[in-house]
Structure 1
Amino acid sequence: MRPIRITFSAFGPFPGDQEIDFERLGQQGLFLITGPTGAGKTTVLDAMVYALYGEAAGAREGQTGSLRSHFALAADPTSVTFEFAIGDAVYRVERSPEQERAAKRGTGTATQVAEASLQRFEKAKWVAVASGNRDVTKHITELIRLTSAQFQQVILLPQGKFDKVLRSSSKDRLPLLSALFGTKYLTSAVERLKREAKDRGIAHSNMKKDLSDAFDDSLEDWRSVITEAGIEAASATGIEFDDDEAPVGPGEQTRAALEQMSAQAKTLRVKVDSAAAAANKAYDSANTAADAATQQAEKWDSRLTLQEESAALAELSKGDKTLAATLKLAESANDLLEQVDAFEEAEGALADSKAQIADLSSEVSEALGGDLPTTPVKARASVKQLEKRLGLLATAIAEFENASTARASAESKAVQAIALGTEVAAVAATSAQADAALVSLREELTKVEAAAQALDALKDAAESASDRVESVNTGLTLDNQIVVGEKAEKAATKAVAEAESALKDARERHLAGLAARLAADLHDGDACPTCGSTEHPTPAEVPAHAASDEDIERAEAGLRSLQTALNAAVKDLSAKRARRSELPAAEELQDAEDKRDTSKAAFDAASTAAGTADTLRSQVAAAVQIIAASTTEMDALNARITAADTTEKMQLAAAKKSHDIAVKTSPDADSAEAEHEVTTDAIELVTAFATLLDEEAGSAATVTNLKTALEKALERKGFKDTKSVTAAAMDPDELEEAAAELKEREARRPVVAGILKELTKDKLPDLRPDPTALIERRDVLKVERDQRVDAALTAKNASERLNAAPEAFGERLDELARLAASQEIAQTVADVASARIRPNIDLESWVCSAYLHRVVLQANNHLKVMTSGQYILQIGSTSDKRKHGGLDLDVFDSHTGVSRSVNTVSGGETFMASLALALGLAEVVAGQQNMRLDALFVDEGFGSLDTETLERATEVLQGLQTSGRMVGVISHVTEMRASLRTGIAVTKNGEQGSTLKVEYQDA
């Protein structure tokens, strides 16, 4: 990480804006940050740490709220902007803490929440990477690959912490190193080793139980074989086992017992199979005998049944001839039944016609004046006479009605003339009504035209209200999307956490191979970094589950991908929230909908009213036309009234004269109408009588024809009359069934005779044979056969399992041995890692000890320069069995040749050792994270050094910047200002706070 520029405002003791261009400042490599105590020299470092991690450095850690300057004006916000480079990529982070600011509305103050953003410079512009304190800190930690604690140890060496690692005890030094090198996960790794050892122990115990159960199963198989063979277990071949305890002690002894049982089971299986074969043979013989006896009995029973059937058929044959003749006669009678029914139906129809004629004769005679026609022709002649009389009556009635109609018409026209005056009055009323309607329509038309002019304004109001409702609904939709986005962010956060856990696990497995990697380059004579031994008889090997560098890279790539997805989810969620903040609140929906509905109703009403304008105009025009038409009609009616006074009076006089003449010359109208009605009824009655005479003649002819045909059919079929036909006839179904039975008996007689003839050849005994005893014996032998076959199958299956048991048992014994060895290894590793056995150092302490060795090697490179080779640091030897051994530090004095505890060195020596150790830690941590140290800031501690030592310390710091690294030293020591060029000068201005001045070399 290379600092480029930092700008901060109202931060710490600085009330105003401050800017430092590190690229210009770092051109001289080594520079001094100087100023009086309390002026704010370390605030530059505080601002850098806060910008990157959102927290203060050093002792002020956790106090971000107090970073705001007490000297700043209320209107000046506190903020920090820091630009830095990672390789070729340039980033800018901006942060502001939670702070009080002046309220935007009214008086007083409001709390402004903390804000943060991270951007990357791409193609001549800044591109957003992350926002929000949490996400920005997370992205920067991934970019720099250093936590805040590591950053302060690697790039910022804070005031008062130089000697913390140096002077701490082994127990206190462990958490410091653990935080710097991220080894805390090894504690859980040790717990996993313990669980693994326990799980393997359980697997070993389970395998032992499985072996015992497997032998018990084999023992049961062996016992089932000898049981089926009918042998006592104790007397089989001398194999005896206690039922409660299987012999699973020495493996070979148990396997030999299984092989012995398997061999005996094979022998006994032959015996069981032989017994099953013999039982099956006995059953087959008994089954054949039982089947033969059963067949003989069935034939004997069949012969007896057929003999009885033959006798019955012979008895029935005596009456079959008579039955055949009866059935033939019934068949002929059935053929004549249809003709008999037709003749009888015709006779009934003739009788009905005669009865109806008799019923009407008296009425017809009366209607014709005593004359009764006897034939259809005479009846129709009477009808014609009646129709002629009916015509004369109709003419007379019509003449009288015409005269009456003419008089009534004339009288009606006179009345109409009188009514014309009333019609004139009605037309006048209609005209008055049209006048009143015209006034009302014109007033309504004026209102409608005014509504049409306001239509555009109402439309704009309605659309504005609808837009407001749509905005509220859009906000509600965004609320739902934000809920979904929050769930997506939560899921992405969970996935990142799981990926981080997976990466942590991979690093744990990677660390599991650390010992092997440390030992890879060891040769006899080289000191082991762990135990110090120069002999390496059994160097550690990389375990199979250890993670490779490629595994770590894949896990890191997967984590980055998930973090990218999380960033996208966060960005999308932030955009939706920003959009949501611009829209109305959900609570405004009801009010917006009410306004929309009111505006729409007003617009619709105006639209409806405007739509009636044309109709109203048409109605106005119609009213004008009605008034004009009414005026014209009244004029015409008045003219008709004047003319009617003469014409209608003359027509009425002529009509009265015609009516009087018709009354005198025409018969009585009432009697004519009565005679007309009677004549009409007589015509209908005589017409019906003629029809009955026609039907009687037709029925008589039909009866004659049917009688002649029936007499010929009776003679042909041999019947005397219809009664004999009815007596001989049978129901068709009964006739068919009787004929079928007769036919079946005729066909059955030769069949029965033939079967009896064949059975006679079998020479059956006189007495019926009984197969019961043979069947019972067969059933008994079947049960015995089934039992023997089941026993053979049981013995077969058990024998096959016993045959495979020795080899399977041997494989399980081998697996048991492998599990025992695996459990022993796992338990040993767990015991070593948890310091239960030698070397009695837990895994985390051992790993931190290895790191400390590397730190000491780097630190001694600097300490030798600062002390002219007098002092070097050493890992202290520990003879006791301490859990955190290997973390003690000693200092070796080459002048005396004696090593002593670091706690015994003087103040100046302590500073040099602490600075060397701090530089060594920085270089090892940077190397572990595969990062380049482009900057280093050292805070105080030079005041305890003499002139010579100060020069050597300065020489070391100058050596650090020769490779292009920027080194800043914070100090108020006068000698330092004389040795180093001032880069940043901090001035304390009392109650006005502090200011800083940057002295660039190129200025």
Structure 2
Amino acid sequence: MRLHRLRLTAFGPFPGTEEIDFDALSADGLFLLHGRTGSGKTTVLDAVTFALYGDVPGQRDVAGLHSHLAPPEREPSVELEFTQSDRRWLIRRTPPHRRPSRRAKTGFVAQNQTVLLQVHDGEQWREVTSGVQAASKEIQDILPLDRHQFTKVILLPQGEFAQFLHANSMEKQKLLQKLFDTTLFQSLEAELNDRAKQLRERIARAEHRVEVTADGVRSQAQAMLKPALGEDLSRFTAVPPGELGEALELLADWLARDLARSVETAAAEEGAARDRAEVLRRRRTLLQGLAAHEERRAAHEARREAVQQHRTELTRHQQATEIRHWFVNAERLEHEAGTRRDHAAEQIVALRATLGAQQDVDTDGTAAAALVSADGTPDPQPLRVLLDELAQLRGALQEQDAARLERRRREVDDELTLARRRVGEQQEICRRLDEEITGIAEGEQKLAAAWQDVEELEHRSRVLEGFLRLHRRRAELAGQLDQRRGRADKARAAALEAERTEQSADARRRRLLAGHLSTVARRLAADLVSGEPCLVCGSTDHPDPARGADQEASEEPAREVGEEDVEQATEHLHDAARARARADSAFEAAREAVRELEEDLSELARQLREAGGADPDPADPAPATRVEVCAGEALVETAAAELEDAQRRHDMAEQSLRDQRRREADLARLREELAAARRGRLAGGHALERAEAEVDRLTHEITTSDVLLTRLRGSHPDVGARLTALELLETRCREAETVLNRWRDAEGSARAARESARQHLQDSPVAAEEELDSALLDDAAVHDHQKMIQAWNREEQRLGLAEESQDIVAAHALREEEPTLPEEVTVRAAEQHAEAADARHHQAQSARDRFEDRRRAAGEACLRMTAALRARDGELAEHRRLAELASTLNGAGPDNPRRMTLTSYVLAGRLERVASAATRHLQTMSEGRYQLLHDDAEGTGRRHGLELKVHDEHSDHERPTSSLSGGETFMASLAMALGLAEVVQSEAGGVGLESLFIDEGFGSLDEESLDHVMAALHRLQGEGRRVGVVSHVTEMHRAIPTQLQVIRRRTGSTVSMLIPGAIDSPQHSAEDTLSVP
């Protein structure tokens, strides 16, 4: 991770906006961060942490990050630009703060934390997210370090790592757990302890279950054995649970065999008795069934002849019914043919009447007479001939266009009438417009005179309005001049007061500076030792050292003046100087405003003289006295009255002018209408002439065709009426043709049906049509015959099936063997004997079943007891295993002689890697003398395994880190910090942190050791690291020329960057540096 730029606004001690360019500071790889205590050096690093994680290290609350030195309306923010994994990121955060609000009751509203994360895509910044939670997730993906790890890796606090070197294993473990994630191993230790505790509880519950199940087994044993043995079995209570099941099983097996023999004996007796009773009952039942079957067969054969007679009658009835249906259908078709013949006759009569009315079609009546044959029946052939003649006549009429000529003649007559009416209307419009034009011409002369009066009144109104406006502007400027002169006087008084304040601040600064120098002199004098050189002049003689006698005689109590007092007085002097400069600027601005108003008043006076108004003194640049103003106001009132009268007359003239303009517009419109009417009249005359010529032509054409139209109309009023009559006649003929065709089809169907009925009668056993009625049966007789036949058939089937059944066959065989039927008393006695044997068998089975149920219940109780015993033994074995493992992982078992917990063991591996990485840096700083080694040897403490030792190459011995001197301790702690940073980065997925800050501790080094440490830091620079050193040591200021200085002031802190190699630096030209604020 490489930092590029950091911008702070109203953040912590920085009230304004401060921007830090880490690229410029890290150009040489190493820079110094310094400033006075409390100036804000740590805030710079906290700002980096806040930008990334939205929080700051330590106990500070992010809600208090808004600078109290900044204006309330200034929004606090931190903006950080950095590169990670070859991608450039920009994040901006604002901490929670209160901003002013006019609508809030308290004057402030709470503003929550906001964030904006952007990434550079090569051309521009692209927004990634603006949500706080989403940004935190993105940062975790970009930089897989939590806040605590990041602050420990990017800022190496040498003091804390010096304590880490001398801490015991428990204290080292607390720090390492913050840097390395050991949650899994701690959870494993806690999980094992919890499981061991839970196992102890489960073992107690298992013991209880064993006793409960053993009591259940004993109870089941009493219920199972006591009914069979008839004695008390209380001795089972003394049997241990482990032996109880085996003893119970032996007794149960013996009793089960005895009960099985009893059941077998009772079953054999029951079988013999039941077989005897079954044989007797079956013989009696079969013989009785055979007798009943023979009686049913005799009754069934007695009804056979009657059933055969019914079958014959039903067959004859069905044949007669079918023939009757054919004759009925033929009669129906004959009736339908007669009906259609009558309808055809009616249609022919109507058609003949229509032909009689059409005398121009059938002039002699022959066509109508031919429609009926000699026998009085309609004939369709003449009808088809008549249809052909009608079609030819209608086609001839449609070819003629006489109707179109008549329609065209009527249209031309209408057009001629309309043209004559329009010509009359145009002549009337032209006459009326001529009269209106004469009246409008007279109004034009009046309009010209009114327009001249209006122009004179407008000129007079403009003159009066300008005069009135000048007088009002003059009075307004006179009032403003008095106000600005008053403000100029106040600005002059403020400038004098600021000058006095500056002089007082300067005197106080000189007084404090003298006191400070006196204080320094007294301190130096107090430190003088006879015979030793002075730090100022180097002399070993001190004849007259400074004393505080003057202060003792002073009226004020003695007080030492420090450098801070002098700086505060200097700042106060600068503030007073700036206030004086502002007051002088305000006074000059007020004087310039007065001069501008005086020039404006002079210009107004000149304009009034030109307008003929009051003539003030031209030598006076500001003539706005009260007398002159009053005179001007009287003149203004007079001019206003004249202006009002002129305005009224002007309005009247304008109204007349508007009326005349409307009349002019009407005149122009009427002139246009007159011209249009004249053009329309001329066009109407031409149209009238064309219409008359067209009428003459059409009249001649219609006269020549009157003869043809008369012939085509015939006896009808026009050709259309004759066409309509012909179409009606043709429709009637086609309807008559359709009716005749239907009549002939019906007659054919009737003849075919009658012939088919006669053929069916000849094929049937009925001799003649008259015998059909005698062969038919009514519905009741048919139903009775069918019912009797069906019942007889069903009985025949049942008797046949019964004779083939096993019972009838067996009954015949038994009767042949022994024809005697067993008595009911004998059969009943045998059944009672079988029932008694069955009861004895059921009693034996019930006893055995109850025993088996109780044995099964006892077995289940034994299984539960066995399972409880097995579970208890498993819990005991698991407890022994987990107890040994938990004891070992907690550092208390016999297999853990170093008494290291699992977490300590894991951290020991991390510490070994840290010591290896730190040794690489420490050898560079100590010229290969020292190495840091991890020590896990057994000690006297409660916990071990996280100890460190130092190997001294000069003496080839290992010694504790507490034996190191102050400078050696600093080098070792710095090496530990660097090594720890490398290991943490590696644990976080190899994330690279190119920017690194190292805290205080360099003051404990001698010059040579400091050179070695600087060499180690430069080696980090060679590895691509950007190292920022936080130090107050003067030698570090000289050793590291690139510096970031945090300056503390009364109004807040600022930052300044000192970049070596830059030119044109007025503040540091001697050292060739450039100050970049």
Normalised by the length of structure 1, the TM-score is 0.46
Structure label with greater radius of gyration: 2
